[in-house]
Amino acid sequence: MTISAAQAQLTGTDPDADGFWAAVVGGALQLRRCTRCGTCFVLPLPSCPECAGDPELVLSEGRGSLYTWVVVHHAFDEELARQVPYVVGAVELDEGARIFARVEGIDPAALEADVRVRATYPADPDRPPIVFVPEESASA
Protein backbone atom coordinates (compact mmCIF):
# COMPACT_ATOMS: atom_id res chain seq x y z
CA MET A 1 0.00 0.00 0.00
CA THR A 2 1.36 3.38 -0.92
CA ILE A 3 0.71 6.34 1.27
CA SER A 4 0.53 9.95 0.21
CA ALA A 5 3.17 12.48 1.16
CA ALA A 6 0.68 13.98 3.62
CA GLN A 7 0.04 10.59 5.26
CA ALA A 8 3.80 10.16 5.58
CA GLN A 9 3.89 13.35 7.69
CA LEU A 10 1.63 11.84 10.37
CA THR A 11 3.92 10.86 13.23
CA GLY A 12 1.44 10.32 16.04
CA THR A 13 3.76 12.27 18.30
CA ASP A 14 2.97 15.91 17.54
CA PRO A 15 -0.68 16.89 18.00
CA ASP A 16 -0.20 20.24 16.25
CA ALA A 17 1.51 18.86 13.16
CA ASP A 18 -0.59 15.69 13.09
CA GLY A 19 -3.80 17.72 13.15
CA PHE A 20 -2.58 19.80 10.23
CA TRP A 21 -1.50 16.77 8.18
CA ALA A 22 -4.65 14.80 9.03
CA ALA A 23 -6.67 17.68 7.59
CA VAL A 24 -4.49 17.63 4.45
CA VAL A 25 -5.09 13.89 4.10
CA GLY A 26 -8.80 14.71 4.27
CA GLY A 27 -8.44 17.39 1.60
CA ALA A 28 -8.39 20.54 3.72
CA LEU A 29 -6.02 23.00 5.34
CA GLN A 30 -6.29 23.45 9.09
CA LEU A 31 -5.84 27.01 10.31
CA ARG A 32 -5.97 28.74 13.64
CA ARG A 33 -8.36 31.67 13.97
CA CYS A 34 -8.17 34.08 16.87
CA THR A 35 -11.39 34.04 18.90
CA ARG A 36 -10.79 37.68 19.85
CA CYS A 37 -9.73 39.48 16.62
CA GLY A 38 -10.35 36.88 13.91
CA THR A 39 -6.78 36.77 12.61
CA CYS A 40 -6.05 33.45 10.87
CA PHE A 41 -2.64 31.82 10.82
CA VAL A 42 -1.10 28.49 9.91
CA LEU A 43 1.67 28.12 12.48
CA PRO A 44 0.67 26.21 15.64
CA LEU A 45 1.13 29.20 17.91
CA PRO A 46 -0.43 29.04 21.37
CA SER A 47 -1.87 32.54 21.00
CA CYS A 48 -2.73 35.07 18.32
CA PRO A 49 0.33 36.88 16.90
CA GLU A 50 -1.73 40.09 16.66
CA CYS A 51 -3.51 40.31 20.02
CA ALA A 52 -2.45 37.26 22.08
CA GLY A 53 -6.03 35.98 22.05
CA ASP A 54 -6.89 32.29 22.09
CA PRO A 55 -6.95 30.52 18.72
CA GLU A 56 -9.54 28.00 17.58
CA LEU A 57 -9.06 25.42 14.84
CA VAL A 58 -10.87 26.04 11.56
CA LEU A 59 -10.66 24.54 8.09
CA SER A 60 -9.69 26.71 5.13
CA GLU A 61 -11.57 26.59 1.85
CA GLY A 62 -8.12 26.20 0.27
CA ARG A 63 -8.54 29.15 -2.06
CA GLY A 64 -6.46 32.26 -2.21
CA SER A 65 -4.16 34.53 -4.16
CA LEU A 66 -0.49 34.21 -4.96
CA TYR A 67 1.34 36.74 -2.80
CA THR A 68 4.90 36.04 -3.94
CA TRP A 69 6.95 33.13 -5.25
CA VAL A 70 10.36 31.81 -6.19
CA VAL A 71 11.26 29.65 -9.15
CA VAL A 72 13.72 27.01 -7.98
CA HIS A 73 16.33 26.17 -10.62
CA HIS A 74 18.94 24.56 -8.37
CA ALA A 75 17.95 22.21 -5.57
CA PHE A 76 20.41 20.64 -3.16
CA ASP A 77 18.14 17.73 -2.33
CA GLU A 78 18.60 14.91 -4.83
CA GLU A 79 14.87 14.25 -5.27
CA LEU A 80 14.04 17.94 -5.63
CA ALA A 81 16.92 18.39 -8.09
CA ARG A 82 15.05 16.06 -10.45
CA GLN A 83 12.00 18.35 -10.30
CA VAL A 84 13.56 21.71 -11.21
CA PRO A 85 12.44 24.15 -12.27
CA TYR A 86 9.54 24.32 -9.83
CA VAL A 87 7.68 27.11 -8.08
CA VAL A 88 7.24 27.63 -4.36
CA GLY A 89 4.71 30.30 -3.60
CA ALA A 90 3.39 32.20 -0.62
CA VAL A 91 -0.35 31.95 -0.98
CA GLU A 92 -2.59 34.33 0.90
CA LEU A 93 -5.63 32.23 1.70
CA ASP A 94 -9.04 33.88 1.58
CA GLU A 95 -9.18 33.46 5.38
CA GLY A 96 -6.13 35.77 5.61
CA ALA A 97 -3.42 33.28 6.54
CA ARG A 98 -0.36 32.81 4.35
CA ILE A 99 1.03 29.40 3.52
CA PHE A 100 4.08 28.34 1.53
CA ALA A 101 3.56 25.50 -0.92
CA ARG A 102 4.28 24.25 -4.40
CA VAL A 103 2.51 26.08 -7.24
CA GLU A 104 1.93 24.17 -10.47
CA GLY A 105 -0.07 24.50 -13.65
CA ILE A 106 1.20 27.98 -14.47
CA ASP A 107 4.23 28.73 -16.63
CA PRO A 108 6.76 30.18 -14.15
CA ALA A 109 7.51 33.00 -16.59
CA ALA A 110 3.82 33.90 -16.65
CA LEU A 111 3.27 34.07 -12.89
CA GLU A 112 1.71 37.25 -11.56
CA ALA A 113 0.93 38.47 -8.09
CA ASP A 114 -2.68 38.02 -7.03
CA VAL A 115 -3.39 35.18 -9.47
CA ARG A 116 -6.18 33.08 -7.98
CA VAL A 117 -5.20 29.59 -6.88
CA ARG A 118 -6.72 26.68 -5.04
CA ALA A 119 -5.14 23.90 -3.01
CA THR A 120 -4.95 20.33 -4.21
CA TYR A 121 -3.70 17.37 -2.23
CA PRO A 122 -1.93 14.84 -4.48
CA ALA A 123 -2.23 11.24 -3.31
CA ASP A 124 1.00 10.35 -5.13
CA PRO A 125 3.74 9.80 -2.51
CA ASP A 126 6.30 11.29 -4.90
CA ARG A 127 4.47 14.62 -5.16
CA PRO A 128 4.31 17.46 -2.66
CA PRO A 129 1.46 17.02 -0.16
CA ILE A 130 -0.04 20.43 -0.98
CA VAL A 131 0.00 21.88 -4.49
CA PHE A 132 -1.71 25.10 -5.50
CA VAL A 133 -3.06 25.27 -9.05
CA PRO A 134 -4.93 27.97 -10.95
CA GLU A 135 -8.41 28.32 -9.46
CA GLU A 136 -10.13 27.42 -12.75
CA SER A 137 -7.93 24.37 -13.31
CA ALA A 138 -9.79 21.06 -13.29
CA SER A 139 -6.74 18.90 -12.55
CA ALA A 140 -4.48 18.53 -9.56
- Closer residue to Zn ion, CB minimum distance, 98 or 127: 98
| Binding residues for Zn ion (CB under 5 A) | 34, 36-37, 39, 48, 50-51, 53
Of the pair 24, 48, the CB lying nearest Zn ion is at 48
**Any idea how long the chain is?**
140
Which sign, positive or negative, has the C-alpha torsion 64, 109, 126, 90? negative
Q: How far is the CB of 56 from Zn ion (least distance, A)?
A: 11
The Cα–Cα gap between 87 and 84 comes to 9
**CA nearest to 55, candidates 22, 32, 74, 87:** 32
Query: In whole angstroms, how close is the CB of 96 to Zn ion at the nearest point?
Result: 11
Please say whether the beta carbons of 131 and 139 come within 8 A: no
CB 112 within 8 A of CB 69: no
Residue placing its CB nearer to Zn ion in the complex, 35 or 68 = 35
Nearer to Zn ion by Cβ, of 25 and 34: the residue is 34
